[in-house]
Structure 1
Amino acid sequence: MSRPRSPAVSAAVRQGVSVSVATGLYGVSFGALAVVAGLTVAQTAALSLLLFSGGSQFALVGVVAAGGSPLAAVATSSLLGVRNTLYGAVVSPLLDVRGWRRWAAAQVTIDESTAVAVAQRDPQAVRVGFWATGLGVFVLWNVCSLLGALAGDALGDPRAWGLDAAAGAAFLALVWPRLASRDARLVAALAVVVSAALVPVTPAGIPVLGAAAAAIAAGLLSPAPRARRGGAR
C-alpha cells in the first residue's frame, strides 16, 4: 500500500490544478487572437507547443497584428522570455532533477509553476506543486489554444468571457500571502512603480524586466534581518 499523501502535498496539488485550469482556459483567448492576427491554426498550435510562454506568445501575436516585422515580433517575445531564465535559477536547486527530466522541467518552468513551487514549505510539496502546475498548464494551454484557433473569431472578443482575468487572479492569489511582511510590500510597490513608469516609454517586455531588476536590486541591497543572522550562529 502506498503511503497517504501529506497535507502539504495535497495542498500543492490543489493549487497546481486550480492554477492550471485558470491559465489553461486563457489559452482559448490566445488561439483566437493568433488566428485573427494572421497566423494559421498549425502555426498557432506549434507556437503554444514549442514556445509555451503565454506572455511571450501574446507579445509576438500583438506585434504581428500591429503589422510589425517578424524580427520585431521575435525580439519582443524574447525580451519577455528572459524572465524564465531567472525562474530556472530559482527552481533548479529546489527540484534537483537530472537527465531528460531537466529538459522537461525547463520546458514547463513558467510564471505559474514557479509561483506554486516557491509558495510551498515542504520539499516534496515544492516538487509536486511544480510538476502538477507545469504539466497541467502545458496540457490545458495547448488544448485550449488549439480550440481557440479552430474557433477563430467566432468567439468574438475573448475578454467578454472573463478569461483574461482568470489567470491573473489565480496568480495574484498565490503571490498575495507572500506580501505579509513590510519589506515584501515595499519591494512589490517598487516593482509596480518601475513597471508603470516604463510602460509608456519602452517596448513591450522592457517593463517586466525593469520591474524584476528593481526587485532583485532591492533584495540585494536590503540588510538581512538581525533575527536570521542570529539563527545562523
Structure 2
Amino acid sequence: MSTTDTIADRSWSRARTAVLRDAVGVGVAVGALGLSFGALSVLAGFSVAQTSALSLLMFSGASQFAVIGVMGAGGGALTGAATATLLGVRNSLYGLNLASLLRLHGARRLVGAHLVLDESSAMATARSDPREARLAFWATGISVFVLWNIATLAGALGAHVLPDPEALGLDVAAPAAFVALLLPRLRGRRLWALAVAAAVIALIMVPLLPAGIPVLVAGLTAIVAAFTARRAGDR
C-alpha cells in the first residue's frame, strides 16, 4: 500500500469516527424527547402498543406530537392525520434533495425514505464528501430511530404505571417540543411575523372550529402567505 493510500485511509477513519460520534450524540438528544412523546401519548388515551406503533411506523416527531395532540383534544382521526401530513411535507422535500446523493433502489429506498428526518438530512447535507454524507445520513437516521423508539416505550410504560402522570406537568411538553422545533427555523423578521400571524389565527379559530382544525387553518394560511411573498419577490 502506498503512502498516499495510507494517509487517505487514516483520514477516512478519522472522518468516520467523527461522523459516528456526532450521529450518536444527535440520537441521544432527539431520543430524550421520545420520553415526553411516549408519556403524552398515553395521557392522550393511546395504549402503550399504539404509542410504540406510531414511533415505529410514522417516525416523524412533530407529526406524532400533532396526532396525539389533536386526537387527545377530541379531534377526529382524519383531522389528526391531515395535521401530521401537513407537518411531514418537509420530509418529502428533504428526500428530493437527498435522492441524487444516496442513489437508493428497491428495499433500500424504502428504508432510506423512512429515515429521512430533519437531523439525518442536516447531517448529510453538511458534508461535502459524498461518502461522509452517506455515512452521516445512515448513522444519524438509525441512531435516532433506535433511541427514539426505546425512549417512546420507556415514556409510555412510565406514564402507564404512574398514578397521576399529569402532576408531572407533561401536558406542556408537546407545546414546548413544537416551539423547540420551530425556533431554529425562524431566521429573519419576515418568518417571525409569519409565525406570529399563524399563531394568532389559530388562537382566534380555537373557539370557532373543532379540535385540530385551527392548526390546519393556520398552517395553510402560512403556506399561502409564503408562496404569495415568494411570487412577489420574483416579480
Unpaired segments of 5 or more residues in structure 2?
Answer: 203-213
Instruction: Check 1:116–1:205 CA distance in 2 against 1; reply closer, same or farther (3 A cut).
Output: farther
Q: Which of the residues 72, 97, 101 maps onto 2:79? A: 72
> Does residue 142 of structure 1 match 2:154?
no
Residue in 2 that maps onto 1:193: 193
1:92-130 C-alpha deviation (Å, 9 max, x unpaired): 112112221111110010111111111112211111111
Instruction: Check 1:214–1:123 CA distance in 2 against 1; reply closer, same or farther (3 A cut).
Output: farther
Residue in 2 that maps onto 1:181: none
Q: In structure 2, what residue type is equivalent to 1:200?
A: V
In angstroms, what is the RMSD of aligned CA positions?
A: 3.5
> Does residue 119 of structure 1 match 2:126?
yes
CA distance in structure 1 between the aligned counterparts of 2:20 and 2:223, rounded to whole angstroms: 29
Helix, strand or coil: the match of 1:49?
helix
Q: How does the TM-score come out when normalised to structure 1?
A: 0.74
CA distance in structure 2 between the aligned counterparts of 1:88 and 1:20, rounded to whole angstroms: 20
CA contact (8 A) 1:120 1:126 kept: yes
> Does residue 204 of structure 1 match 2:211?
no
1:29-48 map, 5 Å:
29-48=36-55
CA contact (8 A) 1:25 1:144 kept: yes
Q: In structure 2, what residue type is equivalent to 1:197?
A: A
Q: In structure 1, what residue type is equivalent to 2:169?
A: D
Bigger Cα Rg: 2
Q: Which of the residues 81, 84, 97 maps onto 1:90? A: 97
Helix, strand or coil: the match of 2:28?
helix
Q: Which of the residues 147, 164, 169 maps onto 1:157? A: 169
CA contact (8 A) 2:201 2:218 kept: no
Unpaired segments of 5 or more residues in structure 1?
Answer: 177-184, 223-233
CA distance in structure 2 between the aligned counterparts of 1:159 and 1:10, rounded to whole angstroms: 39
1:27-67 C-alpha deviation (Å, 9 max, x unpaired): 01000000000000110010100000000000011011211
Q: In structure 2, what residue type is equivalent to 1:64?
A: M
CA contact (8 A) 2:94 2:116 kept: yes
CA contact (8 A) 1:17 1:133 kept: yes
Deviation at 1:8, TM superposition (A): 3.9
CA distance in structure 1 between the aligned counterparts of 2:18 and 2:196, rounded to whole angstroms: 34
Deviation at 1:11, TM superposition (A): 3.1
Residues matched between the structures, number: 207
1:177-200 C-alpha deviation (Å, 9 max, x unpaired): xxxxxxxx55xx433332332122
Residue in 2 that maps onto 1:12: 19
CA contact (8 A) 1:20 1:133 kept: yes
Moved more, 200-209 or 24-33: 200-209
